[in-house]
Amino acid sequence: MTPEAKVKLNVRKLLDAHAIYYFFPPANGYGRAGIPDIVFCVHGIFGAIECKAGRGVLTALQERELAKIDAAGGFTFVARETNLDELKEKLTCLVQKIFFDA
């Protein structure tokens, strides 16, 4: 399992623990480039999570897509091995309908 796959697995566990609806958009060349790894919805809030491992950086297309989601009022997060506790806290807030400034 790659380091990024491990991050994705841990994010899935967090989403499952909160019973949040999510899916992984296919990266097969038929969709738009830069779409985040995981898309979810909780209490009507659209969210997207991009998973990176180590020093992995966002591509310009990924930055663009996350910025568009933010501008539309969605929730975005770049998950790494080092910030999964922060993601857990934010997902808990979303589930409990406690909204915050990102």
Give per-residue pLDDT as tens, 50-84: 999 999 999 999 999 999 999 999 999 999 999 99
Each residue of 13-22: pLDDT tens digit?
999 999 999 9
- 58, exposed or middle or buried, with CB in 10 Å at 0-12, 13-18, 19+? middle
DSSP state, 79? Answer: E
Domain boundaries, the chain: 3-95
Beta bridge mates, 45: 42
The CATH classification of domain 3-95, taken from the options 3.40.1350.10, 3.40.50.300, 3.90.1150.10, 3.40.50.180: 3.40.1350.10
The mean pLDDT of the chain is 93
Cβ-based neighbours of 79, under 8 Å, separated by 6 or more: 7, 10, 11, 49, 50, 51, 52, 87
